Structure 1
């Protein structure tokens, strides 16, 4: 039976919009590397393996920061943590805008990852604290629209500024927007402190260990890690594949990202609402099947007209979003409130580390004999990503079972209480 969605309060709407805008800047900071990939590899004279290292540097530093933050993520006001790490993220992005060679860019990406990687975990903890389970699919769908909006607005704008001035301007654009969002968060967002009354572990290390040792939590960690593999493998070499294999001119890339992002903006809220109304794992399974089919098609394409590439990308991202939203909504329902900050930090760290390994692996699989030569072994990459999607489905199925058992247990506690009150 379909469930009626719970109405959001004005303050919840404000928080949802703020987190969506914040997600937009963080995702764009990572996503913009993909369309700039071909430019960076040529201007900085780096090969696919080195570019994979630049991508993975962000991921590994983000993962390490998340592990370090896990112990104290539930010990402080979540708003203060969000502000602290967002300031660091902005500083790292400024460093990216000033980089002039491979090593400077690598160091800047490490700094950005140290702060940016924790922001997603803190945001997910805030969502889980402030929104009921029946609202989370809708909220996740809206917040994850930052991913689509980065393609519709951010990436085309970044490419435009890169063509107009230089690739450094793409990162400066992110800095300006992030500073504005930071100011609104500081002045408009309330403290998020309900979890502080539930803490039992005085030691941050003990709290970290108890969270990591929880068997149910580890299942969620595994699901999230495999969920990130596909994006980190395919995305870094997306622009190089389009330019060198599918023969799309560099100046036409913005159009592909624009239309793909528009499709995602339309699809993601629909997927979010659907995730609140039907079984989340069934939705995830359908999205996974579609994603596998489209990945195999996409990674084996010959040069084809631009409109066909746009259509294929739109359908591919439909499958990806139909996986991401229900999987994240399920995984964030696993931890108890007292553990959510630590869970989200570890979860985000493992996601980033898995993504870093995936980016390095992709750089080892893909090769490019010369600057303008087609990428080699890209179809093999598609097969590896498809295999990771199948493994991910196994873990998400287990997460779904855990969430259902937790919901039944909570209902069993509520029903006797309501019955006794009725008798009285």
Structure 2
């Protein structure tokens, strides 16, 4: 069952319940009002008859008695033992109340009017305080029955109409309310991998429907970003792995041709191993970029001893460096700590030092770590050939580039930039006047979790 019909059914059930409850309340009010009116009329008649009976006359003529009552009322005057003294023609000769009940009439107080099996409402009253005479006044309850019959006829007609109108109105209202949902479904159905640039039209109603459209649009944004990241990763992977794979293939072919020369074979295998390591590094870097673009790259923050971390990074850089003309210097005070991701900060230091190893063949590479207020300043300075412009932007925006072979910059500094930004820091590269390159990184000393 559709939402429209479910809502219409619920509204119809509620409307039916309200109509029935309203009818029951109306019945109670009408019954109470008619009953009270009838009892008041009976009391007034009984009082007039009691007043006449208290007159000096020894007996009350039937004709005079009949004038005391309305056409719908019946009067009998009887003793407490049930001897009928007077009666109107409408009342007849049969007592309006059982004799056992007459015995309870002990004062001039009224007995509650009682409905009888003959469809009457009967009231009994002592003619005087110590009198043996009882006045019985009765009226038919046909008026009440007619009123209730008319009430239920009105309920049956008007209630049915009200329920039908409620169901129809609920169905129309639900259809109008769900029309934007149908439009959203149609637009969402039209989306495909080739049309993810489209977005759903958001209604200007500022309600749940508009919120649904906004949620779907945000989901499409994330989906588009993930697909773009995947496409970028595949494109970049195919381009960046081209040169290392060609190198591995060429060196292995060379090793095969020089298999009889141990020295040449060792050199070829060493070059192939180096190219394989470059392949692993490129693959790791590309995965890191892909995770960053997909929004799944997060930090695991811990308090880190910066001196130990910088010293271990510098030792690893010395081990990787094969040029004895290049020396390394650490400038970091003891007991300096910060709340950072130690793995990502070590990756920043390794990439900065690797850049200096690759492009500074002689001189000193200085790694400096200092505290400046609420910031940690990291500087790597070398005496190499300097840095080109926009060195951090390579592939940071998803450009595959065609410069792997030209300059061989790789992804190191681009990765440094995104990791620094992930730490809410800033990075700057300069070429000092005295030569070389200087890359400065500033990170907040305490990261926001």
TM-score (norm 1): 0.21
Q: For CA contacts below 8 A with separation 6 or more, give which structure has more relative contact order.
A: 1
TM-score (norm 2): 0.20
